[in-house]
Structure 1
């Protein structure tokens, strides 16, 4: 059995120091800029070992996900069961919680590498840290899905950043990365309404109304931020390609011919053209989370 009660009390005691650390992190991330470019970057190693580590945590979480899923949707979103007290699941949730502190080092590595973290990157890390420590002691059954989807999304992301492009044979790697990043927010967001409906009908549910509302607001904000982030980049990508293929002519026939040439060129380069969308056309999206 995992010592959840003891660790929960300890984490509750650390909420103030953790949030002060988060505020300090935001201040440093927005204001600190290195005076010179480092000769040695540790980012690729960071991404690689994070991918392996979070893949291991995700695999250990699978028995809990399968057991809760086989018990039905209501059970999976409203009954924590042995989520926090089971040896494997309890360990994964606890380790996942503490990794949100370790994740802050990623921003420091970006700064050390003379890169400018995007606002969405900084906000995401701060909110993730706050959520992980605040909700650990709330005994929310929904936590199982949030943890599992976050681990899955990170495996895709860190594999992509470290150079191993998962699912690249079936779909461009940027699609797998963006889709997993959005789904890890959208699916738990939908599940919160299911849990809220159970509470409203007086059915037992391991959650509380205020916590669910807070979770919905937080997930909603992140969904909007991520959606706007990806959409603006895709639109800029399309605009850039139309400009490069238009030739600046006002003749409609000529424009159509040029457009057809661009489309043929793009189709001929698939899937590599779509794959390098983040890497060549938008260097700041090579990591999806920062710009050079």
Structure 2
């Protein structure tokens, strides 16, 4: 059995210091700027090892996910079962909570690399830290879905940022990243609505109405922020790169051979957007998908 009671008490005691760390993090992230570009960037290694580590945590979480599904949807969103006390799931949930502190170090690496962290990056990390430590001791069954989907989304994201394009054979890599980032918020949001509905009907549920409402408001805000962010950036890059693509095609008209070569290359792509995002992978990675 995982010693959840002991760790839960320790997390409760650390809530104020953790939130002070989060506030200090926000202040540093918004105000600190390095005076020069670093000759050595550690971001790619950070993304690679994070991807590997969180993939391991996600795999270890699968047994609890399967057990919860075999016991039905109601159990999945309303019965914690061994989520917090099981050797595997309890360890994963606790480590996942602690990693929200470690995640703040990523911003330090961005600053060290002379890159300006995105506002949504800073807000997301602070809210994730606050949520993880605040909700750890509340014994919410729905926590299993939040942890699992967040781990899965991070695997896609960090794999992409480290240069490995997961699912690129079936879908453009940016689609996999954007979709996983949005689904990690949307799916738990609907699961929380289901849990709240069961509580309203008088069913037993390992959650409380106030906590679920707080969670729903937080998830809804993040869904809107992420949706607006992705839509704005994707439209911006689409306009910029479509102009670039049109100019290149006009210049290629002078050479029929070159034109056929380009036409053949683009024919393999399912859409103009795919060409756009894959051609500008390095720039897109640093501007849009820096988490």
- Which TM-score applies when normalising by structure 2? 0.89
Question: Would you say the 8 A contact 1:12–1:134 is kept in 2?
Answer: yes
Q: CA deviation at 1:17?
A: 0.2
Which residue number corresponds to residue 144 of structure 2? 144
Q: Which runs of 4+ in 1 moved over 4 A?
A: 244-247, 264-267
Greater mean alpha carbon deviation, residues 274-283 or residues 90-99? 274-283
Per-residue CA deviations over 1:199-247 (Å, capped at 9, x if unaligned) read 1011000000110011001101110111011101121123224544677
Question: Would you say the 8 A contact 1:279–1:285 is kept in 2?
Answer: no
Question: Would you say the 8 A contact 1:146–1:184 is kept in 2?
Answer: yes
Which residue number corresponds to residue 32 of structure 1? 32
Question: Would you say the 8 A contact 2:157–2:289 is kept in 1?
Answer: no
For residues 107 and 68 of structure 2, the distance between their equivalents in structure 1, rounded to whole angstroms, comes to 35
Q: CA deviation at 1:30?
A: 0.3
Give me the CA root mean square deviation. 2.3
Matches within 5 A, 1:53-132: 53-132=53-132
Which residue number corresponds to residue 12 of structure 1? 12
Which residue number corresponds to residue 274 of structure 1? 274
CA 3–53 in structure 1, closer or farther in 2 if over 3 Å, else same: same
For residues 158 and 139 of structure 2, the distance between their equivalents in structure 1, rounded to whole angstroms, comes to 29
Which residue number corresponds to residue 49 of structure 1? 49
For residues 151 and 281 of structure 2, the distance between their equivalents in structure 1, rounded to whole angstroms, comes to 28
For residues 142 and 165 of structure 1, the distance between their equivalents in structure 2, rounded to whole angstroms, comes to 30
For residues 264 and 218 of structure 2, the distance between their equivalents in structure 1, rounded to whole angstroms, comes to 42
- Which blocks of at least 5 consecutive residues in structure 2 are unaligned? 248-262
For residues 44 and 4 of structure 2, the distance between their equivalents in structure 1, rounded to whole angstroms, comes to 34
Question: Would you say the 8 A contact 2:185–2:223 is kept in 1?
Answer: yes
Per-residue CA deviations over 1:81-136 (Å, capped at 9, x if unaligned) read 00000000000000000000000000000000000000000000000000000000
For residues 271 and 52 of structure 1, the distance between their equivalents in structure 2, rounded to whole angstroms, comes to 30
For residues 279 and 160 of structure 2, the distance between their equivalents in structure 1, rounded to whole angstroms, comes to 11
CA 279–268 in structure 1, closer or farther in 2 if over 3 Å, else same: closer
Question: Would you say the 8 A contact 2:160–2:166 is kept in 1?
Answer: yes
- Which TM-score applies when normalising by structure 1? 0.89
